[in-house]
């Protein structure tokens, strides 16, 4: 039985929940999932929720949608999207048991804690985005995809595939199908990009560059740095400056976050996957959790130390490099 066939029997409230600081892939997947569930079961109440906040560019995508902040998880069906660990839905992680049924749909590395709580566990870390997985589920169930959902899925794919730089052949095929269906590509591009005059993002990237610590390891350049926000954007900027691998961290209100990025040639020659080999172990070292993709991953902790977390990221990566070389 596929997910949507099973979901037809749901009679009570449905909550679609994504991760903290929900990005475009998270909110776009949520939009498409809400439309699809509403199409097969128009009588049920379906709510999109996020724990705490929505990213700046994602907010522009959801202007027409009511998004509940820190919603109640006391529902018949909880659909967790784009979140590989329960840490990512904090502070709501402790309330998951309130939901009668739980489904997890994600494109990050599988994680035992989310698998154990799920009635449906649909995880494929080879997919470029969660939006791509939601598209496949909807098409596989024979559900007609609404115009706004087609746009949302295209935006989610563009955002999480780094404008198709990380796309697979399957991603390209889905992308082509969406364009052939009449989705406005230029509109999608505008929704993906943060405004060029976003001064907060600019300042964060410049501060990240000014605070860099450079670690030279067997010919590779690893960088660590600290910011107050825009960790992922700052990490991408430092990769563009020439780093082979970068770890950008922040510590706000007792919560530690670290975003990691790496160049493809670094990953290919060292055999390292940030999401599999580095960030889960780094997350444990700071009392949190970590995961993600081969070239882009992260750590979250409610109680860890940022300095030790960044140092652990470098230590783990250095060990993997030397082991490969040896």
pLDDT digits (tens, 9 = 90+) for 228-275: 988 988 999 999 999 999 999 999 877 899 999 999 999 999 999 999
Domain boundaries, the chain: 3-192, 199-325
pLDDT value for 293: 84
Q: pLDDT higher for 140 or 21? A: 140
Per-residue pLDDT, averaged over 58-85, amounts to 88
Tell me the DSSP string of 105-149: EESS---HHHHHT-SEEEE-TTSS-HHHHHHHHHHHTTPPPPHHH
Question: Domain 199-325 falls in which CATH fold?
Answer: Diaminopimelate Epimerase; Chain A, domain 1 (3.10.310)
pLDDT value for 254: 79
**261: which 2 tokens?**
């990025």
What's the rounded Cα separation, in Å, for the pair 24 and 41? 25
Categorize the per-residue pLDDT at 325 as very low, low, confident or very high, splitting at 50, 70 and 90: low
Terminal alpha carbon distance of the chain: 48
- Tell me the average pLDDT of the chain: 91
CATH architecture group of domain 3-192? Alpha-Beta Complex (3.90)
Number of DSSP helices (H) and strands (E) in the chain, helices first: 13, 12
**267: which 2 tokens?**
């990953």
Query: Torsion angle, CA of 237/238/241/245, rounded to 10 degrees?
Result: -130
Contact 170, 139 (CB under 8 A): no
């Amino acid at each position: 039985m596929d997910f949507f066939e099973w979901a037809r029997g749901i009679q009570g409230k449905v909550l679609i929940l994504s991760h903290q600081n929900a990005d475009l892939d998270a909110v776009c997947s949520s939009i498409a999932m809400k439309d699809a569930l509403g199409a097969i079961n128009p009588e049920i109440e379906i709510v999109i929720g996020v724990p705490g906040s929505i990213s700046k560019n994602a907010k522009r995508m959801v202007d027409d949608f009511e998004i509940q902040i820190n919603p109640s998880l006391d529902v018949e069906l909880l659909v967790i999207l784009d979140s590989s660990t329960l840490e990512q839905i904090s502070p709501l992680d402790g309330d998951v048991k309130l939901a009668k049924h739980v489904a997890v749909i994600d494109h990050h590395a599988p994680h035992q804690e989310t698998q154990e709580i799920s009635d449906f566990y649909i995880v494929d870390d080879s997919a470029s985005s969660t939006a791509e997985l939601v598209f496949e589920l909807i098409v596989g169930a024979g559900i007609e995809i609404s115009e706004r959902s087609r746009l949302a899925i295209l935006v989610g794919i563009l955002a999480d595939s780094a404008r198709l730089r990380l796309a697979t052949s399957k991603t390209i095929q889905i992308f082509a199908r969406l364009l052939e269906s009449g989705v406005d590509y230029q509109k999608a591009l505008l929704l993906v990009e943060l405004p060029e005059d976003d001064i907060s993002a600019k300042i964060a990237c410049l501060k990240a560059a000014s605070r860099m610590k450079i670690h030279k390891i067997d010919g590779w350049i690893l960088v660590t740095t600290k910011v107050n926000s825009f960790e992922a954007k700052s990490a991408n900027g430092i990769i563009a400056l020439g780093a082979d691998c970068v770890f950008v961290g922040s510590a706000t209100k007792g919560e530690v976050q670290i975003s990691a990025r790496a160049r493809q040639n670094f990953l290919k020659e060292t055999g390292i996957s940030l999401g599999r080999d580095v960030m889960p172990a780094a997350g444990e070292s700071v009392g949190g959790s970590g995961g993600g993709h081969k070239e882009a991953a992260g750590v979250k902790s409610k109680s860890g130390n940022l300095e030790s977390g960044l140092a652990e990221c470098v230590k783990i990566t250095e060990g993997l490099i030397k082991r490969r070389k040896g």
